[in-house]
Structure 1
Amino acid sequence: MAAGLDGIFDIPAGRIAAVVTSLDMQAPPVIPPDPVGDWSIRRVAQPDLDWYRDLYARVGREWLWSLRLRMSDAELAAVIRAAGVEIYTLAHDGGDEGLLELDFRKTNECELALFGVTSKLIGTGAGRLLMNHALRRAWAQPLTRLWVHTCSFDHPRALTFYQRAGFRPYRRQIEIAPDPRLDGTLPREVAGHVPLLG
C-alpha cells in the first residue's frame, strides 16, 4: 500500500469523484437465452451527431454521463464514426432506448465502450438482450480480450450485471471530474444519488 493514501480526502469544489471498476473476459462466456420482449437491435452506421447526443443523454444522464456531451462536433464524429467503432441501438415502441458502442480499434481486443438502456427499460430484460448482442458480436471477432468499466455513479446493479455476463474485475481507480450539473451540461436535478455541492 502506498504511503499517505489511506484516509478521507476533500474533493475540490465543483468536482465529483467516483470509484471506477474495470472488468474483462478473455474467452467467450456462456450466453443465456435472449429474453422475450418488444425490442429490436440495429447497427447505426455513421451516426448523426444530434441523434447520438440525445440518446447518450437519455441513457446516461441519471448516471452523470457527460464526456461525449462536452465534445465538439469534430471530436465526437472522430470517435463514433471511426473505423473499428460500431454503434448499435435498441429500439422499443417506435423509439431508440438503448445504446451500445463496441470499440475494436486495438488489435485482438474490444472495449465495450458504452452500454445502457433508458430508465423505462431498466429491469425489463432489454439490457440482457443488448448484452447478449454485444457478447455475440464481440466474440465473433478474433479477440483475446473484451473489457468494460463501470463506476459508483452508475446504476447500483451495474457491477453485478457485468459480472453475471461473464466479466471479472481486475482494477479499481478513483476518477475526479467537473460536476456536469454545475456548468449546464446536464440538468441540476439529475443523479440524486450524487449530492450536488456548489
Structure 2
Amino acid sequence: MPMPETPFRKWTLELREPQSLAASDAGAIIRWLPEISVAEYLRLYTGVGEPWKWVDRRLMPPTELATLLAESNRHVATLTTSDGTEVGFTELCRHSSDDCEIAYFGLLPQFTGKGLGRKFFQKVVRKAQSLTDANSRVWLTTCEWDSPAALPFYQRSGFQIVSEEWHVRCAPLDESL
C-alpha cells in the first residue's frame, strides 16, 4: 500500500551579517575529523537527525556514502563537552572558492536547549568562512520537518531566507530505516 505524500516547506538561507553569539568556548570542543567511516557517520547522523526524520544519508548505498565522505571538499566534525561527552555533529561542503554549504548541523536531542548549539554553530560558521574566499557565500537549508527552533536560530545567527520552496515526501517514513 503506497504511503501518503505530505507537502512541506524548505528554506535556503545565506549568511549576510554574522551575529555575535556571545558564547564562550568553555565546555564545548569541536573536532574536525580527517576521515570518518560510514558506520561512524551514520551513527552520528542518525543520533542527531532521527527525531527530525533525516533519512537522505541512510538511504544512500554504503559505497556511495563512503565516496561522498572521502571527498576533499567535505568536512565533518563532532562536538563534545570538556568531559568527552559527544553532543552533536556537523557536515560542511565547499562547493567552490566562494560557496560553502552547512549541509548538516545538530545536537543529540538530550543536549538541545542548553546553549551548546550556539557555541558549536559559531565555530562551524567560522570554519565554513575559512574554507572560502573573502565575501564568500555560506548557506544552509532547513525545512518544516526540522526542529521548530532551527529556522529562528539560524536567523538570529545572521542567516537570511533567500528562497522558499514546497516539496513532497512520503509520510510516515518507514521506521526501520
Q: Relative to total residues, which structure has the larger strand share, 1 or 2?
A: 2
> Per chain length, whose mean CA-contact separation is higher, i.e. which structure has more relative contact order (CA < 8 Å, sep 6+)?
2
Q: Distance in 2 between matches of 1:79 and 1:111?
A: 15
Which of these residues, 120, 130, 142, is aligned with residue 133 of structure 2? 142
Q: How many residues align?
A: 173
User: What is the CA-CA distance between 1:94 and the residue it aligns to?
Assistant: 3.3
- SS of corresponding position for 2:95: coil
How far does residue 99 in structure 1 lie from its aligned partner after superposition? 1.1
Q: Which has the higher helix share?
A: 2
Larger of the two Rg values belongs to structure: 1
Q: CA deviation at 1:106?
A: 2.3
1:98-142 per-residue CA deviation (whole Å, 9 max, x = no partner) reads 111111132310001001001111111111011100111122231
Of all paired residues, the percent bearing the same amino acid is 29
Q: C-alpha separation between the residues in 2 aligned to 1:25 and 1:91?
A: 25
Task: Give unpaired runs (5+ residues) of structure 2.
Answer: none
Q: In the alignment, which of 27, 32, 36 is matched to residue 38 of structure 1?
A: 27
**Aligned with 1:25 (options 7, 15, 25):** 15
Once the two structures are superposed, residues 138-197 of structure 1 have per-residue CA deviations (whole angstroms, 9 ceiling, x without a partner) of 222315211111000111111010001110001111122234732621xxxxxxxxxxxx
Report the equivalent of 2:80: 91
2:167 aligns to what? 175
Mean CA deviation greater in 157-166 or 12-21: 12-21
> Which residues in structure 2 correspond to 1:5-154 (within 5 Å)?
13-26=3-16, 29-35=18-24, 37-92=26-81, 93-140=83-130, 141-143=132-134, 144-154=136-146
TM-score by length of 2: 0.88
Flag as ranges the 4+ runs of structure 1 deviating above 6 A.
Answer: none
Give unmatched runs, 5+ long, in structure 1.
1-11, 186-198
SS in structure 2 at match of 1:104: strand
What is the RMSD computed on CA atoms of the aligned residues?
1.9
Partner of 1:157: 149
Say whether the 8 Å CA contact 1:25–1:168 is kept in structure 2. Answer: yes
Q: TM-score, normalised by structure 1?
A: 0.79
In the TM superposition, residue 80 of structure 1 has moved relative to its aligned partner by 1.9
Which string of whole-angstrom CA distances, capped at 9 and with x for unpartnered residues, describes residues 52-81 of structure 1? Answer: 101111101111100001111111112222
